[in-house]
Amino acid sequence: MSLEWPQPGDAPMCGVIGWPVTYSLSPAIHNGAFQALGMDWTYVHLPVARQDLPEALGRLVSDGFVGANVTIPHKTQAADLVSWLSDDADSLNAVNTLSVINGELGGHNTDTPGFSRFLLEDAAWDPAGRSALIFGAGGAARACALSLCRARASSVTVAAREASRAGLMVRMIEDLGVLARCVPFAEAREIRSDLIVNATPLGSQGEALPIGPLGPEVLVVDLLYANGLTPLLASAAEAGARTFGGLGLLVHQAALSFELWTGRVAPLDAMRGAAQDAVEKS
């Protein structure tokens, strides 16, 4: 295995594991937070191919990392490789945050509380009694669904390209007492919902999602973060819907990871500013 690891030094170090990973805004966000609080910490990109993940996680411990974030395509595999899981990571079978504690690697998932904070603090939107349509059935989609169920949403519809991949997500929703159903992508345009979430990569290359009529009463969230509107958000804005990109969730989940590693309150304004600057420069 040949990993492009930085040489460990005296200062605490964290990073983000993924493949590819150089697109990730996490180093800009976390280094912005460290700088804002005057902390001598460093956060770096850690490119790791799928087959190298087990050895890479071992390196986190042996090289003295405090922790790391985990992104595509490793969230589910990482859940099977750590010594222990938080309740959310266990429920979702997905890890987005790793912590090294007493020489052992544990897995957390900050996407669920991050999405809850985003809806409450950024969108000022209460899911209670409302319906949602989520495109995708991966780790991010499951985290959003868990957040909505805990906030007493009335129903969650999963639009999946492969119905077999949505089974875990649908069962989780049903187990939490919320009405769940899975539909193929093509049928998603027939679903009327109060909230639409894109938790897939679709849109990054200009692809359109099959959504039905929208209006001012609908909240549309695209977890992609881009310099400008994605096709989904552009269509939604034209129809008068409220729209948000993925930076809100990204910053809130990052803040929760930051607090797990450092024990300090995350400087949200600095993290938002760093994220926005990074997007504008990308």
Task: Name the H helices within the chain.
Answer: 26-36, 53-62, 75-79, 87-92, 111-117, 139-150, 167-175, 231-238, 247-262, 268-281
For the beta carbon of residue 124, count every other beta carbon within 10 angstroms.
Answer: 9
CA proximity to 29, closest of 192, 267, 214, 246: 267
CA proximity to 258, closest of 85, 1, 45, 16: 16
Place of tokens 């519809």: 157
Cα 121 from Cα 125, distance rounded (Å): 8
Catalytic residue from among 30, 45, 75, 117:
75
Strands 104-108 and 97-101: antiparallel
Listed in sequence order, the residues at least 6 apart from 158 whose beta carbon sits closer than 8 Å to its beta carbon are 134, 136, 137, 141, 145, 166, 169, 170, 173, 180, 181, 182, 183
Axis-axis angle for helices 268-281, 247-262 (nearest 10): 130
Cα 126 from Cα 138, distance rounded (Å): 23
> Is 75 considered catalytic here?
yes
Type of residue found at 72: I
Active site residues: 75
